[in-house]
Amino acid sequence: MDITRRSAANGKIFDSVTLRESKVDQLIAKAAADATSFAKISIDDLPEQPADEIEISIARQALRKLQKESLGLIMEAGGGACVTLPAEALGQLTDVEENLIFNVIPIRKPGELQQVQERAMMTQPFQSFAQGRNVRIVGQSMKIESNYNIQESQVLFPLTGLEVPADPQLRQAFLNGLAMFVVHDAGESGVKFGQVIMDQNQNPIGLEIEVKKFGTYTILSADASERTAENISRAEVASLIAHQLELNQVAESNSYLDVPAAHWASKEVSQLTAAGIFAGDALGNFRPEQGLTRAEMAVIASKVLGLNASVDSNTFPDTQGHWAAPVIESVKHAGLMLGFADGSFRPDQPLTRAEADAVLKRLFQPSR
């Protein structure tokens, strides 16, 4: 649906699109015809003259209609950025008195990109991710702003100009080395490990992450190493745990869009989902080949043993304010996961195969 307006000011090019009440009915009708739970708007950028800033505005009454139809919203901005708001997230916006606005600002100038990388390298999350490896910026860095706080948003960031190894093991190591460095407006930063989205030829086209508040996003690529190649996937962990728990009585079907019945771990994924140990994302995906962070492994281990989250202490300096801090404390006290020699836990660091093996041995040793 093309309703784009282009303007120029102060040497910059601005693209904008406004979803009004008169237009939203067309999107609702198309969503019904396509049997999808998302309405979709897009801005077509001009490759030879890309916009410096893209504004997507949703009128209040248009938002009300989307809420009434229980539809989510997909917003494709120029340059390939795609913001997805599930119906649950839109339904939380009950106090909107003005247009809901999203600004997408690509960071293209070499000097600005260098500043972004230099700021990133000074942070603890970046250092925990790098672990001494060479890390470079890939894809399109950008800033996303909004006048409202949105929960559980999915954002797809384009990956362009990547040379992916042909060897399967090196290819997987390369993909495992991709992550997103995020800086929020308040100055807090972190590294997120999302899902690499492939095209029909299995070439990476974007990195999708879940966000709860917006900021500046930079895709990082760490050089493939033995450490990266030894990361373990969600499907592999699900399979190992399911076999230990002997959950054969659980139904084998599942509703995940990316785990078909023919997937090698379909049965185990279904079993652990039914047992409440694993869960998918807001879009109905399990992301079987995606790696796990140490914090996510802590949550899984806690669910297996039915531990109560600890809120009385915070042993690790790098977990203060982290979403999984109480669970990390509980698995630490249970002796399931330990910190590093420097006193850190490194919650957002990818879980290695050796670390997963150690946790699972502690979970299922005979004395427990």
| Local confidence band at 80 (pLDDT 50, 70, 90 cut-offs) | low
Q: Which residues pair with 5 in a beta bridge?
A: 16
Q: Looking at residue 63, what is its pLDDT? A: 92
**Cα gap 187→313, rounded to integer Å:** 25
Question: Helix crossing, 294-305 with 234-245: angle to 10°?
Answer: 20
In this prediction, residue 228 carries a pLDDT of 47
Q: Taking residues 56-64, report their average pLDDT.
A: 91
Q: Identify the CA nearest to 349 among candidates 182, 234, 179.
A: 179
Taking the C-alpha atoms of residue 214 and residue 99, their distance in angstroms, rounded to an integer, is 17
Cα separation of 18 and 286, whole Å? 33
93-114 confidence digits (pLDDT tens)? 877 778 889 998 888 877 887 8
pLDDT at site 32 = 93
Query: Above 60 in pLDDT, residue 310?
Result: yes
- What are 244's two structure tokens? 């230990």
Q: Using 50, 70 and 90 to split pLDDT, how confident is the model at 359?
A: very high
Computed over every residue of the chain, the mean pLDDT equals 83
Which pTM value belongs to this model?
A: 0.60
pLDDT in tens, 126-147: 877 776 678 888 888 889 998 8
Is the per-residue pLDDT at 171 higher than 50? yes
Q: Confidence class of residue 78 from pLDDT cuts 50, 70 and 90?
A: low
Report domain extents, the chain: 229-364
pLDDT at 318 over 80: yes
Question: Encoding tokens for residue 202?
Answer: 């299995």
CB burial of 145-174 (b: ≥16 within 10 Å; e: otherwise) equals: eeebebbbbbbbbbbeeeeeeeeeeeebbb
- Which residue, among 272, 280, 281, has the nearest Cα to 241 in the 3D structure? 272
- Chain-centroid distance, C-alpha 343: 27
Tokens of 259: 């785990």
- Structure confidence at residue 70 (pLDDT): 94
What is d(CA 275, CA 340) in angstroms, rounded to the nearest whole number? Answer: 31
Mean pLDDT check: name the lowest of 42-46, 156-160, 238-242: 42-46
Tell me 280's DSSP state.
Answer: -
Share of the chain above pLDDT 90, in %: 18
Residues with Cβ within 8 Å of residue 255, at least 6 apart in sequence: 284
Nearest to 235 by CA among 208, 254, 221: 254
Q: Please tell me the predicted confidence (pLDDT) of residue 1.
A: 44
Q: What ranges in 213-285 are assigned the alpha helix state H? A: 226-229, 234-245, 266-274
Q: Please tell me the distance from the alpha carbon of residue 118 to that of residue 189, in angstroms, as a whole number.
A: 13
User: Which segment, 179-193, 198-212, 240-254, 330-344, is predicted with the most confidence on average?
Assistant: 330-344
- Answer whether residue 44 shows pLDDT above 80: no
Chain segment 242-300, per-residue pLDDT in tens: 888 877 555 555 678 888 887 888 888 988 998 899 988 777 888 888 888 999 999 99
pLDDT digits (tens, 9 = 90+) for 343-357: 889 998 888 888 888
Torsion-angle region of residue 144: left (phi > 0), alpha (psi -120 to 50) or beta?
beta
Q: At residue 100, what is the residue type?
A: L
Tell me the pLDDT band of 120, cut-offs 50, 70 and 90: confident
